[in-house]
C-alpha cells in the first residue's frame, strides 16, 4: 500500500451525498464492507474508537429502518477503518522517524 495515500481524501469520500434513497440491501452491503475493514484494522491492533462508534451508529440507524443514514454511517466507518489500516501499514517503518537517537 502506498504510504502517501491521502487520508484527507479518504475521509472526504464518505461525505459524498447519495444519489437516491438507500434500501436495506444497500445498507447490508455497506455495513458488511465496513465490518470487514474494521476487523482487518483490529487484527492489525490499530482500531480507532471512531470506527467502532460510527459502525454502531450505522447499525442503530439500519435497525431503525433509516437506510440513508445507515449507509452514510457505514461508509464513513469503512473509510475510518481503511485510514487506520493505512496508518498501521505506513507506521511499520515510519515510526523510526520519531525515535530519539
| Binding positions for other proteins, rule: CB under 8 A | 3-8, 42, 45-50, 52, 80, 83-84, 87-88, 90-91, 93-101
* CB 41, min distance to other proteins, A: 9
Q: Which residue lies nearer to other proteins by CB, 6 or 64?
A: 6
C-alpha cell at 57: 451508529
Q: How far apart are the first and last CA of the chain?
A: 28
Cell of residue 27, nine digits: 445498507
Q: Which CB atom, from 59 or from 67, has the smaller least distance to other proteins?
A: 59
Among residues 40 and 50, whose Cβ is nearest to other proteins? 50
- Dihedral angle over CA of 46, 50, 56, 60, nearest 10: -160
Write down the least CB distance from residue 10 to other proteins, Å.
10
- Residue 36 CB, nearest approach to other proteins (Å): 17
Closer by beta carbon to other proteins, 14 or else 47: 47
Per-residue b/e over 29-64, b at no fewer than 16 CB within 10 Å? ebbebbbebbebbeeeebbbeebbebbebbbebbee
Amino acid at each position: 500500500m502506498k504510504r502517501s495515500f491521502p487520508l484527507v481524501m479518504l475521509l472526504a469520500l464518505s461525505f459524498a451525498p447519495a444519489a437516491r434513497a438507500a434500501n436495506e440491501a444497500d445498507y447490508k452491503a455497506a455495513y458488511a464492507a465496513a465490518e470487514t475493514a474494521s476487523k482487518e484494522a483490529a487484527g492489525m491492533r490499530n482500531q480507532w474508537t471512531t470506527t467502532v462508534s460510527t459502525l454502531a451508529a450505522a447499525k442503530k440507524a439500519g435497525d431503525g429502518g433509516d437506510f440513508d443514514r445507515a449507509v452514510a454511517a457505514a461508509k464513513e466507518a469503512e473509510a475510518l477503518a481503511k485510514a487506520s489500516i493505512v496508518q498501521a501499514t505506513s507506521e511499520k517503518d515510519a515510526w523510526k522517524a520519531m525515535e530519539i537517537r
